[in-house]
Amino acid sequence: MAGYEAVIFDFDFTLADSFRGIVECANHALKTMGLPPATPDEIRKTVGYSLPESLVRLTGEEQSGRGGEYTRLFVERADEVMADRTVVYDYVPETVEHLRGKGLRLGIVSTKYRYRIVEVLGREGLLEPFEVIVGGEDVSEFKPDPESLNLALERLSIPPEAVLYVGDSVVDAEAAMRAGVPFAAVLSGPTPRDAFSEYEARMIMDSALDLTSSI
């Protein structure tokens, strides 16, 4: 695993668990739109996708024209509850300290809004180590489009092959592949190990903590 200059992480299910907040915000938006509620299992499968795409996956293609409405309602509720319902995994401080001790630069690329990630990391005293954070409001195309990863690479001024992107979903894996960035999968989210088989992951780990023994 030598040769990397930076490690970039996804956020939800990779560094933190905000699932309680996601369920609440999703069902708040669906209810307000007059749509049936979704189960936690259904919602879990949409984490990592853009909000308009999540709506389609929850309700069907016939609701695709209401993505903006769903996004607005979800974000309004998230501004009220999401940070308080987000828990950073307890091994993240150790992982961050280890990687920084190895001289690696750190970043985050997520579909979650940057300002919310900043709020959560600031609360936990973990904001300073992350040199770049790219969130959903920073791009016009969401993962698996590589725009967000490419923007992080540009801000770090390092080539794709010098970065390891760590994420929990096939959305993350495809974004890395399309950006030419090596990918490491974590199983801390809902995606099973075999789903990553076609993406040539450099590592498949139980959690980001495993980086402390491999880098």
Spacing of C-alpha 88 from chain mean position: 13
Does residue 210 have an active-site annotation? no
DSSP assignment of 23-71 equals HHHHHHHHHHTT-----HHHHHTTTTS-HHHHHHHHH-GGGGGGHHHHH
Q: How far apart are CA 1 and CA 21, in angstroms?
A: 35
Q: How far apart are CA 58 and CA 151, in angstroms?
A: 29
Q: How far apart are CA 31 and CA 29, in angstroms?
A: 6
- Among residues 10, 12, 168, 210, the one annotated as catalytic is 10
Among candidate residues 4, 41, 113, 28, the one with its CA nearest the CA of residue 77: 28
Host H or E run for residue 115:
helix 114-123
Among candidate residues 97, 129, 113, 215, the one with its CA nearest the CA of residue 166: 215
Q: Any idea which residues carry the catalytic annotation?
A: 10
